[in-house]
């Protein structure tokens, strides 16, 4: 229902004078039954506004006036309160992103932000010196906020799209040699040497190493079943809990390690413990890796624990494993992630392509020769 009515409006001025004026009141009702109205000096202006609002109601693009004034700051607070049902580490990452988003765009109303402003914001982050991958993650978070705002009816559309998305940045990949891996193993403190085996031959992430339990290892079958990450949180996704097979030689090494470190662990459930038999924190492990890196000398300064995971992937690829097998062992959510990260490690396929084409042509040539010999036989 929409209508325009003529009404008298009376008010008192600051000097106490009583004044009266004629206003045109435009009113309409949204699909939820909420009533909205606005006063205008001229009937024509009231009709234009009313036509705009009723058109939005009909096309499904109507946003309640009080919701349209919601700022990004306000929406971030509401959105984050509902997001706290996620894992604590996931929430902490969202809080870091939202702090940046509020600093750059928080004062604007959700409906006022345009794609050009999003691009300018990303450019300002680049000027601050942030990495491309960080800027890409911040833009993705802003897009997530706007997607949920559209679903909640706060805005009609999101200003974030592929056109405003910055470059994602390439992941820094360093693949250590086998000699460097064993050199790091020898340089690590005795009570932490096993982490090189867990990272380099099982592909464990640093948070998984610190929370890995003895019961997760099946030394007889040679299978590690991931369950937790530091400090004692269950792994987020089903693909991250994919069992990983390991060879008998590694099983013997791990068995010897568990027997040797039993007095230090003192019945602790973790595979890796510190000098006092307590759970090792990720930053402690990273610090030990940096110290060992300096002792080795042949390992670059950029080497980090996660590079052992890259070594594990390269070992699988060199042994002839296909994409799906590497994806399963690395516990990636999709083969695309595996290819985006490690495609350059697979052997060059140019020769295989040439060989396939050559085989077809050789078959054709042999067929022609046999036909000529048949035609040349005396009749």
Domain ranges for the chain: 2-62, 72-151, 178-345
Residue ranges in the chain assigned as alpha helix (H): 43-59, 65-68, 72-83, 88-105, 115-127, 132-151, 178-187, 194-202, 206-211, 248-265, 282-296, 307-318, 323-330, 335-342, 350-375
Compute the radius of gyration of the chain from its Cα atoms: 33
* Reported CATH class of domain 72-151: mainly alpha
- Taking residue 213's Cβ as centre, other Cβ atoms within 10 Å add up to 15
Name the fold adopted by 178-345.
hpI Integrase; Chain A (1.10.443)
Rounded to two decimals, what is the model's pTM? 0.69
> In whole angstroms, what is the distance from residue 233 CA to residue 207 CA?
10
Q: Which two tokens stand for residue 12?
A: 């008192």
Contact indicator for 77, 101 with CB cutoff of 8 Å: no
Task: Give DSSP secondary structure letters for 52-83.
Answer: HHHHHHHHT----HHHHT-BHHHHHHHHHHHH
Q: Which two tokens stand for residue 128?
A: 């601050």
**CA 57 to chain CA centroid, nearest Å:** 36
Residue partners of 149: CB distance under 8 A and separation at least 6: 70, 75, 79, 110, 155, 158
pLDDT in tens, the chain (379 residues): 688 888 888 878 888 888 888 888 888 888 777 888 888 888 898 888 888 888 877 777 667 777 778 999 999 999 999 999 988 888 999 999 999 999 999 999 998 999 999 999 999 999 999 988 899 999 999 999 999 999 888 888 899 999 999 987 666 688 999 999 999 999 999 999 999 999 999 999 999 999 999 999 999 999 999 999 998 989 888 999 999 999 999 999 999 999 999 999 888 999 999 999 999 999 999 999 999 999 998 999 989 999 999 999 999 999 989 999 999 999 999 998 898 888 888 876 566 667 767 777 788 777 776 665 555 555 5
């Amino acid at each position: 229902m929409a209508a325009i009515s003529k009404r008298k409006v009376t008010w008192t001025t600051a000097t106490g004078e009583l004044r009266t004026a004629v206003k045109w009141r435009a009113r309409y009702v949204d699909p939820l039954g909420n009533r909205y109205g606005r006063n205008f000096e001229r009937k024509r202006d009231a009709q234009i506004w009313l036509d705009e609002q009723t058109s939005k109601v009909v096309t499904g693009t109507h946003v309640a006036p009080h919701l349209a004034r919601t700022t990004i700051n306000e929406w971030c607070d509401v959105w984050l309160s509902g997001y706290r049902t996620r894992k604590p580490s996931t929430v902490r990452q969202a809080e870091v992103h939202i702090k940046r988003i509020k600093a750059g765009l928080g004062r604007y109303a959700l409906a006022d932000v345009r794609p050009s402003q999003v691009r300018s914001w990303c450019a300002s982050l680049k000027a601050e010196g942030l990495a491309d991958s960080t800027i890409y993650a911040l833009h993705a978070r802003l897009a997530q906020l706007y997607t949920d705002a559209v679903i909640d009816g706060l805005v009609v559309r999101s200003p974030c799209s592929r056109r405003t998305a910055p470059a994602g940045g390439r992941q820094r990949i360093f693949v250590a040699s086998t000699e460097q891996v064993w050199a790091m193993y020898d340089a690590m403190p005795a009570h932490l040497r096993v982490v090189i085996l867990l990272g380099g031959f099982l592909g464990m992430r640093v948070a998984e190493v610190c929370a890995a339990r003895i019961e997760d290892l099946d030394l007889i079958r040679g299978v590690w079943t991931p369950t937790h990450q530091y400090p004692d949180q269950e792994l987020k996704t089903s693909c991250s809990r994919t069992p990983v097979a390991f060879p008998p030689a590694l099983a013997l090494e791990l068995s010897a390690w568990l027997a040797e470190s039993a007095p230090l662990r003192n019945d602790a459930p973790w595979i890796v413990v510190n000098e006092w038999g307590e759970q090792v924190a990720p930053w402690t492990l990273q610090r030990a890796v940096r110290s060992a890196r300096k002792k080795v000398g042949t390992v670059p300064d950029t080497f980090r624990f996660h590079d052992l995971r890259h070594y594990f992937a390269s070992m699988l690829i060199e042994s002839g494993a296909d994409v799906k097998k590497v994806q399963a062992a690395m516990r990636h959510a999709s083969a695309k992630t595996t290819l985006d990260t490690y495609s350059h490690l697979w052997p060059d396929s140019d020769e295989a392509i040439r060989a396939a084409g050559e085989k077809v042509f050789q078959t054709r040539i042999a067929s022609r020769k046999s036909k000529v010999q048949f035609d040349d036989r005396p009749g």
